[in-house]
Amino acid sequence: MLKDEVLIVGDGAREHAIAVKLADSVHEPRIHALMTHRNPGIESIVRQTGGRVIISSLDAKGVAKAINEVNPDIVVIGPEESQFAGAADKAIEMGVPTFGVPRRLAVIEQNKAFARELMWKHKIPGRLAFRAFKDAGDAVEYIKNAGSVAIKPARQAGGKGVRVFWENLAYLRDAMGMAKASQVIDAARSVSKYSDIEDLIIIEEAVTGVEYTVQVITDGYSIIALPPIQDHPHAFDYDVGPECGGMGSIVGPGPRLPFLLDDEYWESVDIVKRTIEALQREVGDRYVGVLSGQFMLTTYGPTLIEYYSRFGDPEVTNALALLEADLLELIEAAVEGRLSSVKYSFRDNTVAITKAVAPVGYPHNRDMAINRTITINESAIAKLGCSLFYGSIERINGAYRTLGSRAVEVMALGNTYQDAYSTVERCVSQVSSPDWQLFHRLDIGSPELVSRRIAEAETIRQVYTWRRLHGLGKVRVDWVPGRGPIVYDYS
């Protein structure tokens, strides 16, 4: 029997998109939601389906409260922090089928050092040389002779605290060293409030290229690979500014990206699939939910940057727009271990562009971005043919007020990038504020940026194809003062 009482955990645009797709099920489920604030979009879906809203924490305690109140047939967990806090563990302990992984599996996202170690131990392709540090002072000492590096918090921190340094100009070496040391301190500070992992800093070899995300739904035995999506994690146009949760995403035409070859996509899918298998062997549990790989097409080929133990936000909006399947049936099949029996397809000849609108102050000065009024012409957006997903926003005394993060996400479909881009820009213009400045990225999905990505990817493709043909790049040797050489074998 299909589960018809569904509890969604989460209160962002990602969970709103999931709720919309679940509500479209032919089985007409009653949808309940556990949220920390009343997301207007999710609340509307809950009301339409006859469900209930539970306002509580998105952790094990909150999940227990919600399960006791609504007695769901299935729990769907959206945010990563809920997984890290044991939300899935509690639901499973209470005997409720759960789509979303317990913390011992979510460690693949939570702990970046664990993820890198897993890749090297199991020789999963797409891996990068790295070192993890429990002490910021040791990390500062290491980077003095490390050359070009990426410096990251060792724990998932909402996309914050990541920076790449290219040390290719000798006269800037001292200034670059100071900047690296400062970034180490900033990255350590961004994870100092957490106490659930030991490492503070992870330092990786620097790579450059074109980024994309591959999301895979799995029951632990088989997978459904969703279309590749390109997220745009930098706050401002032309990929500048701080990294954040993502200011928009693109897919198409159809279940592909214009700069990514099919062979590169399937190579990336295989990396995620092998990671699921390795993680299950290490932990001993079945992975039921989504594992996403944030990739970069580099001179190595498809290269894994980070894992996400859930749907990406905003990538989920694009993926679900192209998915032609009953999401409730798909989720139930995953929970029951019969995902291979599900029929599904993806829309062809369709481009989907999603853009996030945020108040100025996001992402690094959220106090400025809180409690600002937003006006949304919902009827105009619907008439123009866009989908609207509510994020960090709440309706207070009849007005929409911001909560400090991305307020809404707007998605448009079209036959070409020009069509979808023109439509989404017209829709975004229907979101404004009378008392504050809002911003979004104008360049996301523009034909100009898409063309630039295609050209960049083709240049990188020529390099990695030549390197592979000549057997290059299989070994890297780093000299660590006081330790001697460290050999990384990529073969």
What confidence tens digit (pLDDT) does each residue in 389-434 have? 999 999 999 999 999 999 999 999 999 999 999 999 999 999 999 9
Q: What is the pLDDT of residues 68-98, one digit of tens each?
A: 999 999 999 999 999 999 999 999 999 999 9
Segment among 1-5, 109-113, 215-219, 336-340 with least mean pLDDT: 1-5
Buried (b) or exposed (e) across 86-105, using 16+ Cβ within 10 A? Answer: bbbbbbbeeebbbbbbbbeb
pLDDT at 243 over 90: no
Q: Give me the mean pLDDT over the 234-257 stretch.
A: 94
Percent of the chain residues topping a pLDDT of 90? 78
Q: Are 197 and 317 in contact (CB under 8 A)?
A: no
The larger pLDDT score, comparing residue 159 to residue 385, is at 385
Looking at residue 273, what is its pLDDT? Answer: 98
The larger pLDDT score, comparing residue 481 to residue 340, is at 340
pLDDT at 114 over 50: yes
- Can you give the pTM of this predicted structure? 0.94
Q: What is the CATH number of domain 129-206?
A: 3.30.1490.20
Q: What is the pLDDT of residues 36-68, one digit of tens each?
A: 999 999 999 999 999 999 999 999 999 999 999
Q: What is the pLDDT of residues 425-476, one digit of tens each?
A: 999 999 999 999 999 999 999 999 999 999 999 999 999 999 999 988 777 7
The larger pLDDT score, comparing residue 8 to residue 151, is at 8
Q: Are 116 and 168 in contact (CB under 8 A)?
A: no
pLDDT at 183 over 90: no
Looking at residue 345, what is its pLDDT? Answer: 98
Looking at residue 68, what is its pLDDT? Answer: 98
Q: Give me the mean pLDDT over the 232-254 stretch.
A: 94
Q: Give me the mean pLDDT over the 255-259 stretch.
A: 98
Domains in the chain: boundaries: 5-100, 129-206, 210-447
The confidence band for 1, taking pLDDT boundaries of 50, 70 and 90, is very low
pLDDT at 224 over 70: yes
**Residue 217 vs residues 83, 187, 255, 327, 340: alpha-carbon distances, Å:** 16, 31, 15, 11, 11
The confidence band for 278, taking pLDDT boundaries of 50, 70 and 90, is very high
Q: Are 395 and 340 in contact (CB under 8 A)?
A: no
Percent of the chain residues topping a pLDDT of 70? 93
pLDDT at 483 over 70: no
pLDDT at 184 over 80: no
Which two structure tokens, joined as six digits, stand for 198? 């030991």
Inter-residue long-range contacts of 171-176, CB under 8 Å, 24+ positions, other chains counted: none
Instruction: Compute the mean pLDDT over every residue in the chain, rounded to the nearest whole number.
Output: 92
Q: What is the CATH number of domain 210-447?
A: 3.30.470.20
Q: What is the CATH number of domain 5-100?
A: 3.40.50.20
pLDDT at 220 over 70: yes
pLDDT at 348 over 70: yes
Looking at residue 163, what is its pLDDT? Answer: 79
pLDDT at 213 over 70: yes
